[in-house]
Structure 1
Amino acid sequence: MNHELTLRELVGSFAANGTMGDQLRIDKIEPLWKESEKIILNFEGVSSMTDSFANAFIGNIVERHPEDFRAKLRFINCSPLVKSFIKGALQYAQSRLAQA
C-alpha cells in the first residue's frame, strides 16, 4: 500500500521549524512505515525549507530506517531549492550513520 503526504497542507510553503519536522515524522511517517510499500512526500507548493526542518524530518527518517528508506521514500514535486535541502539532509544522515 502506498501513502502520500502533501507537505504544503502540513507545513505551509516554507518548512522552517525543526521541532515541527521531527514531530511530523513521529506523527505522520512512523505510524505508516511498516504497513507501506511506498511513502510519497509531495512537496508541491513548498517553496523552501531550512536545514533544521530537513534534517529533523528527512534525516531522522533515514537514521531511524537505514535499511529500507531508499525503497520506501519517494519525493515528488520538489523545487530545485527543496531538492538541495533534501539532498543535504540525506547526505548528513548517511554520514552520521557511517560514523556510528
Structure 2
Amino acid sequence: MSTMISIAAGAAGFAEDKDYARMLRADVILPALDHGEEVTLDFGAVAYATQSFVHVLIGEALKKHGERVLELLEFKNCSPQLRSVVEFVVDYSLSGFAEPQHR
C-alpha cells in the first residue's frame, strides 16, 4: 500500500506553516510509516520550504525509524533548493544514530 501526499504551499510556493506540517506528520505520515507503507511527498506546488517546515514534516519519522525509513519515503518534484533542504534535514535527523566506531 502507498500513500501520496501533495504538499500545499503558501504565497509564491513557499511552504513554512509548521502547524500544517505537524498535522500531516501526525495524521498521515507517521501512521502510514508505522504500518510499513510507502509515503510519497509530492512537492510539485512548492518552490521552497523552510528547514523548520521540513524538519517538522519528517524529522520525527527519521528519529523513530532510523535510516531504514528512507526506503519508504519518496520525495517527488523537489526543486534543487528544496532537495538541498530535505537532504540537510535527513542528515541532521539521522546524525544522532551513527554507530560508535570501536578501535
Letter in 2 for 1:78: C
The answer for unaligned runs of 5 or more in structure 1 is none
1:27-72 deviation line (CA, Å, top 9, x unaligned): 1112222334311111101011111111111222211211531211
Aligned to 1:98: 98
- Calculate the aligned-residue CA RMSD, in Å: 2.0
Aligned residues of 1:21 and 1:54 also touching (Cα < 8 A): yes
Name the stretch that deviates more: 18-27 or 83-92: 18-27
Aligned residues of 1:4 and 1:39 also touching (Cα < 8 A): yes
Per the alignment, in what secondary structure is the counterpart of residue 90 of structure 2?
Answer: helix
Aligned to 2:44: 44
Aligned residues of 1:3 and 1:36 also touching (Cα < 8 A): no
What does residue range 1-100 of structure 1 map to in structure 2 within 5 Å?
Answer: 1-8=1-8, 11-12=9-10, 13-66=13-66, 68-98=68-98
Per the alignment, in what secondary structure is the counterpart of residue 21 of structure 2?
Answer: helix
* Counterpart Cα distance in 2 of 1:18 and 1:97: 25
The answer for unaligned runs of 5 or more in structure 2 is none
Larger Rg: 2
* Counterpart Cα distance in 2 of 1:67 and 1:54: 16
Change (3 A) 1:97 1:19: farther
Identical aligned residues as a percent: 31
